[in-house]
Amino acid sequence: MTDMSLVDDVHEHEHDHHSHDAPSRFGVVGPIMVVAPLFVALLARGRVGALDADALRLWSTLFVSITVQALPFLALGVVLSGLIAAFVSPELVERFVPKRPALAVPAAGVAGLALPGCECGSVPIAGRLMSAGTPPAAALTFLLAAPAINPVVLVSTAVAFPGDRMLVLARFLASFVTAVAVGWWWSRRGADNLIEVDGHRHDGPSRFLRFSDTASRDLVHAGGYLVVGAAAAATLQLVIPRSALDVVADNELLSILLFAALAVLLSICSEADAFVAAGLPQFSLTSRLVFLVVGPVIDLKLVAMQSGVFGRRFAMVFAPVTLVVATLSAVAFGQVFL
């Protein structure tokens, strides 16, 4: 018995050691994943002159400009997300959210404005809110609103579109209406039985570790998707013939469907997606607004995270409805303001 206890103690100690080391290792890997592709593009831009590759030089210029513009807002969003995870408990939010769904849903939408965070962090926060007793409809409204209408996202949109200030207002209104409409729809549907929430708290041993773990994980996810999005935007400009882009750009319906699909597939962080949309200027503002409204509320990584936190049955119902509501809301407000 003594030998077995000793072995168990050693295993437990090793597990604790690895769990404490994980955030620090993750914190090192995250910046590398963001900076390394940017460094390669900068290096290539300086060396392709000898190859006389004008297209490659233009691609690297577009990629670097989009990434560099978005990085400060991405970093700020990651830091805020970490601070919220460390210092803002779900119980604190739940205390200010009314119990009646009719009032709790818009209140949760406003809370999303006051508590900025990346969509990667909004899913587990919504799960913890439900575990703390918040009505599911209100928690889901917060899940949709927090990454879509927070101040970091709105400021980054204004910087990316300096000559189109109404786009910022249209994005805010369309995203807020989407979050509230989906929340009210869920409360009236009465499908809370589809949600499978783990009530166990997964907090780290200290606020600092919770902050560093959340920030590093969000940096890896958001930074990686930013690189993919910037590369995709630059590639679309060069690989697809200009005539083909113009054909799609001239057809408003095709443009809207294209940008809705890109928002779902590219899965770009909401703090950086405006710079990717700004990199495709030949398309209408309404179609790019669809990209900015759909992306923060429904994409591939969000569907995967929602399936893991709330269950697959929930994601199969929630994701399509959110996509349709977000697209229609963006089109409606785009027609009014843009």
Give the model confidence (pLDDT) of 320-331 as tens digits: 999 999 999 999
Give yes or no for residue 214 having a pLDDT over 50: yes
Q: Mean pLDDT throughout 288-300?
A: 93
80 vs 44, higher pLDDT: 80
User: For residues 132 and 255, is the Cβ–Cβ distance under 8 A?
Assistant: no
Q: Mean pLDDT throughout 224-246?
A: 74
| CA atoms lying within 13 Å on the CB side of residue 297 | 40
Give yes or no for residue 175 having a pLDDT over 90: yes
Amino acid, single-letter form, for residue 277: A
Which two tokens mark 52?
């006389």
Q: What is the pTM of this model?
A: 0.73
Counted residue by residue, the chain has a size of 338
User: For residues 318 and 306, is the Cβ–Cβ distance under 8 A?
Assistant: yes
Report pLDDT for 198.
55
Tell me the H-state helices in 48-206.
Answer: 54-87, 90-96, 101-114, 119-131, 136-149, 151-160, 165-189
Which two tokens mark 19?
């769990």
**Total domains present in the chain:** 1
Q: How far is CA 258 from CA 95, 240, 248, 284, in A?
A: 41, 14, 8, 12
User: In terms of residue numbers, what domain contains 93?
Assistant: 2-337
Per-residue confidence band for 43, with pLDDT thresholds at 50, 70 and 90: low
* pLDDT tens, residue by residue, 260-269: 998 988 878 8
Per-residue confidence band for 335, with pLDDT thresholds at 50, 70 and 90: very high
Planar angle of CA 173, 261, 167, nearest 5 degrees: 30
Q: What's the mean per-residue pLDDT of the chain? A: 77
Nearest residue to 219 (alpha-carbon basis) of 80, 78, 37: 78
Q: How far is CA 49 from CA 39, 40, 44, 238, 320, in A?
A: 17, 15, 9, 18, 47
DSSP string covering 186-231: HHHHT-GGG-----S----SSHHHHHHHHHHHHHHHHHHHHHHHHH
